[in-house]
Amino acid sequence: MDTSTCQDYENEIRSLEEEIKLLAEIYEDRQQECTFFSDEEISMAMKSLQGECHGEFKGPLSPSDLKAQLESLETDLSFLMKFTGIQLTNHSKKTVERTRNRTVWKHRLSGNCHSLSFQLEFQLLEVQTKENVSAVVTDLSIILESGEDSDVNKFVSSTEENGSLLTFFRRLSSYAEWYEHRRCTFLHFKGKYPDIVSLPEGLHGDCVTLRNPTVSGLELLIVWKIHMDEEGRTTPVLDLLPKVPEQVLEQKMVTLGDTPTRFRSLLLLFGIEVAIENLIRVVGLQE
C-alpha cells in the first residue's frame, strides 16, 4: 500500500478514537448496569477504556498494522454503540483559533440514539500546560427530534447552558430507551389488536385509544408520558382516561369507573405490557 493509503487509515483511526472516547465516558458512567453483557465483552470494553486499543502511536506502523488497529477500534465502537444505543452518523471539526498552548475547535455532530435523532454544535477550548491538557465546552447548541415535549426542551436548555456533553448523552440514552420501549409496545398492541387499538398521534405519540367494537361510544385512552426533569432523570408516567356512554352504565358495567385506579395497581404489580393486556381483557375488548 502507498503512503496515501496509510494516511487514510490514520485519519479514520483518529476519527474512531474520538467517537470511542465520547462513548467510553458514557459507558464508564453506566457500567454498573451492564449485567446482561458477557464477561468477555465487558473485559474488552475495559481494555478500551484503559487505552490499550487506542493509545498514541509509538512509531511508524505498516499498512497491515494500521488495518488491524482500525478493525480493533471498529469492534470497540460497535460494542459501545450497542450498550448506549448512540450511533454517530456525521462529525466535522475545524480549527477556530490556535496559539502555542491554546486551541479552539468547532465541532458538529449528528446521530441517533435508538429511534431519536439529534444534532449538536459546540466549541471545544483546549488549554495545554506542563502538567496536563484541559478542555472546556462552550457555545453548545442541541437539536433533539422528540416532538414538542416541554420536559425535554427544559432539559436541553439546561444542558446547553451548562455545556455538559457527558450529561446530555448519558441522560439521552436513558430517555431514548423509554421512548423506544413505548414505541415498540404501541406497535405490538396495534399489530395484535388492529380492530381495537388505534394510535391517534402515531407510533411516536404518547397515547393509545382502545375502542370496543361492539359497544358504541366506549373508549379508553391510555396516556404514557416520559417525564424528564431539568437534570435529565427520566420517569415513565402512565394513566387511564375512560369514556363510558350511558348505555354501558345502564348495563351495570359500573366497574369501569374504577378502571383508572385498577390500571395503576396493575402497573405496580405486573408492569406496563401486562397491565395493558389485562385492561383489554377486563373491559371485554378481547373475544
Which range among 1-10, 54-63, 137-146, 272-281 shows the weakest confidence by mean pLDDT?
A: 54-63
Q: How confident is residue 223, by pLDDT bands cut at 50, 70 and 90?
A: very high
Residue 52 has pLDDT above 50, yes or no: no
Q: What's the pLDDT score for residue 153?
A: 83
∠223-224-227 over CA atoms, to 5°?
A: 125
Q: Given this model, what pLDDT does residue 114 score?
A: 84
Residue 4: pLDDT band with limits 50, 70, 90: low
Q: Please give the Cα distance from 183 to 238 (Å, whole number).
A: 14
pLDDT for residue 189: 93
* DSSP 8-state assignment for residue 32: G
User: 92: which strand partners?
Assistant: 108
Rounded average pLDDT over 256-263? 77
pTM comes to 0.66
Confidence of residue 272 (pLDDT cuts 50, 70, 90): very high
Q: In terms of DSSP H, where are the helices of the chain?
A: 3-30, 39-49, 63-84, 150-162, 165-192, 246-250, 259-270, 272-282
Sheet holding 219-228, edge to edge: 197-198, 207-211, 219-228, 234-243
| Whether pLDDT at 229 is above 60 | yes
Q: Across all residues in the chain, what is the average pLDDT?
A: 76
Q: What percent of the chain has pLDDT over 90?
A: 12
- Range with the lowest mean pLDDT among 14-28, 48-62, 95-109, 121-135? 48-62
Are the CB atoms for 63 and 6 separated by under 8 Å?
Answer: yes
